[in-house]
Structure 1
Amino acid sequence: MTVGITEAVHVVDAVSVMGLLPGRPRLLALGEPTHGEETLLELRNDLFRQLVEQEGYRTIAIESDCVLGLIVDDHVTSGTGVLDEVMERGFSHEWGAFAGNRELVRWMRAYNADRPASERLRFAGFDGPLEITAAASPRQSLTALHAYLTARVDADLLPCAAETLDRLLGADDRWTNPAAMMDPSQSVGQTPDANHLRLLADDLVALLDEQTPRLIAASTPDEWDRARLYGRTATGLLRYHCWMADTSPGRMARLLGVRDSMMAANLLALAERGPTLVNAHNGHLQRDKSTMRMGGQPVQWWSAGALVSAHLGEGYAVLATALGTIPHQGVDVPASDTVEGLLYALPQQQCLVDSRRLTAALTDATPAPRVSPWYGYAPLDPAHLVNTDGVVFVKDARRS
């Protein structure tokens, strides 16, 4: 068995990655089975540098707030702000505290410093403004979209005045109440004001589409891209808040589905810009349907990767990452009959595995699913191997 697997093993570098694929994908997704491990962030950074220097990649997108990510993009492209403030304000989920993310931003800024705009690297968050227990107010994205349109189209085409949006939005803490995640009655997402805002947001996005020729002519490419981002985010947030207020059995599946749908829309927009490396949890990037149990009940939805893959075909490629041990989290050497256990027996500390060859080598013995003793680590699902383009395996994650 080990001999067959050995033939599927390569070093983790851009040349080997591209050798597994039929062509250069517009979106190359690098998943991770847990968040915050510096070993994985360093591997990602090294691969991104190689993709930039050897394959013409110019954008990296990570699982962070898409609107906050504009702060980071402004910094790496034009030097706006100081690094400490950018790391604090430009990331959600506390990702800015990780050394690997700080080094990524520092390197991108240094790379861009003496280059023309057409050659500069770009940064993007592609998650919605969502946290585990709450969602942001739609104020920022909705008012930014309204302001963009107000400056560029005839006033009588706008569906409302800015003051109307402000009145309907009310206090932001109404929207960000964390109690609403567990108690739908605490959500404002289906109030008359919220329903009115959803209609207005839809009209504003429709106006953005209707006026495309005029708006592109009156905007820089970045202004146009950001207006579209604000439109996607405003409508997505209002939809998410609506489902937070829902009491039907489908509530949680719809919340998870709306989030990944927002991610997918942002990724498809980035694909229009050019080749992009995407970094997020394996679960958001997989081609297979996502499943989990909540409150003892199974919940299913399509991940961002599955949605993007359906649109882009070979323009989307996904590398799942698997880990052997995370000693500081109590994740010890994997059992030998799991995929991780088979890969752990290899001598390499890090390697890239051809999923097709690995699947072929496993035909005589179906690997057992690994069970993690730590909730923060999601082992590789053996059934998902066939729908990945490769597996990045890291034998041991060291403590930061």
Structure 2
Amino acid sequence: MATDIKDASQPLDASALIGLLPAPPRILALGEPTHGEDALLRLRNDLFRQLVERYGYRTIALETDCLRGLAVDAHVTPDTGGPDTDLPDTDLPDTGDLDAVMEHGFSHGWGALAANRELVRWMRAHNEGRPASEQVRFAGFDGPLEIEAAASPRQALTALHRHLAAHLDADLLPCAADTLDRLLGPDDAWTEPAAMYDAARSVGRSDEARELRLLADDLVALLDTQAPRLRGAWVSPGDHERALLYGRTATGLLRYHHAMADPSPARLTRLAAERDRMMAHNLLALAGRGPVLVYSHNTHLQREESAMRMGGGLLEWWGAGALVASRLGREYAFVATALGTITHRGVDAPPPGTVEGLLYDLPEDRHLVDPGRLAAALGGTPPAPRESPWFGYAPFDPAHLGSVDGLVYVRDVPRD
């Protein structure tokens, strides 16, 4: 069996990865089984550079706040001016200052990771002197959400309103800006951390929140119905792209806060589903740019239903990858990452009967595995699922071999 498994693997690079697929997909999703490991992020960086140079990929999308990501995109595309100045205040930092961009352009603490800094630095250097059509772009595709809280919809909602107010007659707008401000109230009411586990602490089903949901829907509808008029007022095509992003984010956040105020046992499942719905809509919008590399946790990108234990129960929902794949079909490809050890996290050599254990016997540190050939080598005996001794690492589910387009295997993840 060892020989057959070795035959199912090859050295990892972008050409080998694309070679597993019928054609380069519009969205190539690369998953990771754990967050925050620079070794895995540097592998991602290497693959992205190769995809840019060999296959014309122009966008990388990471599991980080979609609004904060505008600052990173502005930093790596300085010659294009980044977000246009006629658009509303987006609370961007000084986008020429790398330290400020890394601090404020990422959520979840990702800006502190050295490999993310290396990615941003490379993207800016790559773009220098290139026409806009050849520049690489950055995007966050997560909502403005953290583990214990969700952002106020203020930034996205007021940004959309100001964009429309700058170009349309006031009579067309469903409300004035001060109406939004009054209904939004103080931001700390929206960002109350206790609301994650206590529905009664959420303002998501207040009378004001319900009215805001209707107004947000009207503003998004106005953006759609007035698109021909707005097109003539745009400074660049990115104007409309960002206005659509503000609309998706405003309506998504208001739905998320509505779910936070749900007292039923299904509330955490709804929150997980709403987050991935926001992710999926952002990815579908990015697909219009051309080939995109997406990097996130395997759980968000897989085609199978996602599951996790949280709040004392099992949550099951369809992740962003499953939602996007249902729309794009084979133009969406998912490559999962599995690994052998993270010894500094207490994850030691995997049991020999697991997928990770069988691959651990291969000599090199990185492999690209053909899942179909691996499944054939395993025959009719499915490997046992691996158990993780650390909550931050999710082993590869052997039942998913038939639904992944490739499997990246990293034998050992060192401490950086």
Distance (whole Å) between structure 1 residues aligned to residue 377 and residue 364 of structure 2: 18
Instruction: Please state if 1:130 is matched with 2:159.
Output: no
TM-score by length of 2: 0.95
Q: RMSD across aligned C-alpha pairs, in angstroms?
A: 0.9
Q: Where in structure 1 do 4 or more consecutive aligned residues deviate above 4 Å?
A: none
Q: Gaps spanning 5+ residues in structure 2: where?
A: 80-94
Matches within 5 A, 1:343-362: 343-362=359-378
Match of 2:225 in 1: 210
Instruction: Please state if 1:243 is matched with 2:250.
Output: no
2:340 alignment partner, SS class = strand
Among 146, 149, 172, the alignment partner of 2:164 is 149
Match of 2:285 in 1: 269
2:394 alignment partner, SS class = coil
Match of 1:303 in 2: 319
Q: Gaps spanning 5+ residues in structure 1: where?
A: none
2:309 alignment partner, SS class = strand
- 1:141-167 alpha-carbon deviations (Å, 9 max, x no partner): 000000111111221110000000000
- 1:125-144 alpha-carbon deviations (Å, 9 max, x no partner): 00000000100000000000
Calculate percent identity across the aligned residue pairs: 67
1:151 alignment partner, SS class = helix
1:35 alignment partner, SS class = coil
Distance (whole Å) between structure 2 residues aligned to residue 145 and residue 2 of structure 1: 57
Distance (whole Å) between structure 2 residues aligned to residue 379 and residue 65 of structure 1: 26
Matches within 5 A, 1:4-19: 4-19=4-19
- The amino acid of 1:218's aligned partner reads A
Match of 2:55 in 1: 55
Match of 2:34 in 1: 34
Bigger shift: 112-121 or 42-51? 112-121
- 1:8-40 alpha-carbon deviations (Å, 9 max, x no partner): 111111110110000010100010000011110
Matches within 5 A, 1:134-283: 134-219=149-234, 220-283=236-299
Matches within 5 A, 1:311-326: 311-326=327-342
* Shift, 1:294, TM fit: 3.0
Distance (whole Å) between structure 2 residues aligned to residue 360 and residue 32 of structure 1: 24
Distance (whole Å) between structure 2 residues aligned to residue 384 and residue 23 of structure 1: 22
1:111 alignment partner, SS class = helix
Distance (whole Å) between structure 2 residues aligned to residue 337 and residue 152 of structure 1: 63
TM-score by length of 1: 0.99
- The amino acid of 1:94's aligned partner reads G
- 1:78-130 alpha-carbon deviations (Å, 9 max, x no partner): 17321111000000000000000000000000001111111111000000000
Match of 1:107 in 2: 122
* Shift, 1:171, TM fit: 0.6
